């Protein structure tokens, strides 16, 4: 497992946190200047309401991510994935991609292991495309609470063929040595 | 406001199932899961409130006419194309992308361009590519993956438009 990456020493906010603080301050100031204090307060209040709604989901989903990382047998998964490069391999890669935790710490080391184990480029493309467009953890933590289930259902439906299409395109490019 | 029944029940079921599996098969996973979740929560706890405030304010600042012209119902194919390009070059993680999507929704963007934008952002993710993919898998791999991924946001956006149209007709 990749060691945990710290982006700041404990007790000190990271650069990314400071970026969001600055972005919030700047946009609130601009809104105040353009539309007045009432609009700004309404925006902050709406943000806090949204926060109160999504905070429990995010906390629970982070715990899910922790369990998946702790329970997932990574070596076994990369052995399964590398063993079949036909249609079954595509399907397996797609399912594995959907259930890999959202952060890049889990997915890319797995692809590296796959490549070293001889998995073809197109299978890796299927896996990474499924992970990025259909990853269950990201959908649950971020997309459902922020964008609602109707949008998510539409996006998932529209993205279902994407990993397979990307894989087939990769296979075509490989076969024609482009 | 979004309906949270589905996310909450999904999260609860998954958490119970994983905790039960871990309890019987791998008891030390409890501690590891808690430590990992706590580490991520510490990083997010400060960022999310400020990201949400920024998104709410930016959503009210965006000129509604421009957003609906570029990403609205009448933008059609060019809206999907434009959204794919924006998504492909959008830096940062979900903390940037999802609040931006809310802001665009509020300002009049429709489903199909937003599907294209989210697909492009999630597949390309410039930062992730430079920080993880190129160092770990090499520039050739990353370039090849970007080439085969490039048409995908457009395909997803057009499919989303088609699915929306079917659902409205039926």
Query: Is the Cβ pair A67, B132 closer than 8 Å?
Result: no
For residue A176, what is the DSSP state?
T
- The most confident of the ranges A12-16, A142-146, B14-18, B150-154 is B150-154
Query: Is the Cβ pair A34, B61 closer than 8 Å?
Result: yes
Q: Any idea which residue has 């990353």 for tokens?
A: B142
Q: Is B84 on the interface with A (CB under 8 A)?
A: no
The residue that leads in pLDDT, B12 or A168, is A168
Please classify residue A99 by burial: count the beta carbons closer than 10 Å to its beta carbon, then call 0-12 exposed, 13-18 middle and 19+ buried: middle
The residue that leads in pLDDT, A125 or A147, is A125
Identify which of A69, A159, A44, A172 has the alpha carbon closest to the alpha carbon of residue A120.
Answer: A172
What digits encode the pLDDT tens for the residues A98-111?
A: 988 777 767 887 78
Give B35→chain A minimum CA distance, Å.
Answer: 8
Would you list the domain boundaries of chain B?
Answer: 1-61, 64-170
What digits encode the pLDDT tens for the residues B73-125?
A: 788 899 999 999 989 988 777 777 887 888 888 888 999 999 999 999 999 98
Query: Is the Cβ pair B37, A62 closer than 8 Å?
Result: yes
Cβ within 8 Å of A, B 139-158: 141, 144-145, 147-149, 151-152, 155-157
What percent of chain A is predicted at pLDDT more than 70?
Answer: 87
Complex prediction ipTM = 0.77
Structure tokens at B156: 């997803």
Give B46→chain A minimum CA distance, Å.
Answer: 7
Please classify residue B26 by burial: count the beta carbons closer than 10 Å to its beta carbon, then call 0-12 exposed, 13-18 middle and 19+ buried: middle
Q: Is B168 on the interface with A (CB under 8 A)?
A: no
Is the pLDDT at A131 greater than 70? The verdict is yes
- Residue in A closest to B135 by C-alpha: A108
CA atoms of A155 and A37, how far apart (whole Å): 36
């Amino acid at each position: 497992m990749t060691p945990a990456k710290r982006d700041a020493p404990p007790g000190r906010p990271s650069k990314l946190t400071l970026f969001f603080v600055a972005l919030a301050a700047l946009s609130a100031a601009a809104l105040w200047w353009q539309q007045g204090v009432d609009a700004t307060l309404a925006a902050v209040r709406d943000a806090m309401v949204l926060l109160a709604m999504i905070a429990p989901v995010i906390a629970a989903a982070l715990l899910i991510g922790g369990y998946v990382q702790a329970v997932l047998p990574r070596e076994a998964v990369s052995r399964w994935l590398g063993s079949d490069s036909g249609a079954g391999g595509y399907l397996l890669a797609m399912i594995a991609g959907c259930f890999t935790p959202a952060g890049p710490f889990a997915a890319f080391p797995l692809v590296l292991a796959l490549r070293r184990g001889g998995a073809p480029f197109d299978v890796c493309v299927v896996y990474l495309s499924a992970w990025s467009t259909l990853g269950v953890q990201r959908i649950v933590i971020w997309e459902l609470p922020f964008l609602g289930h109707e949008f998510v259902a539409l996006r998932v439906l529209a993205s279902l063929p994407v990993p397979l299409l990307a894989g087939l395109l990769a296979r075509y490019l490989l076969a024609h040595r482009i | 406001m979004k309906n949270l029944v589905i996310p909450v029940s999904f999260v609860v079921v998954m958490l119970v199932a994983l905790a039960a599996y871990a309890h019987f098969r791998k008891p030390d996973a409890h501690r590891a899961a808690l430590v990992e979740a706590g580490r991520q929560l510490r990083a997010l706890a400060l960022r999310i409130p400020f990201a949400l405030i920024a998104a709410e304010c930016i959503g009210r600042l965006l000129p509604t006419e421009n957003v609906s012209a570029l990403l609205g119902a009448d933008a059609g194919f060019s809206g999907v194309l434009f959204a794919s390009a924006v998504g492909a070059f959008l830096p940062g993680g979900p903390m940037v992308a999802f609040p931006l999507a809310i802001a665009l929704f509020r300002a009049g963007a429709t489903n199909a361009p937003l599907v294209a934008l989210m697909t492009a952002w999630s597949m390309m993710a410039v930062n992730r590519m430079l920080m993880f993919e190129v160092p770990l898998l090499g520039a050739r791999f990353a370039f090849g993956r970007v080439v085969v991924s490039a048409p995908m946001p457009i395909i997803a956006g057009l499919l989303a438009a088609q699915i929306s149209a079917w659902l409205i007709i039926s």
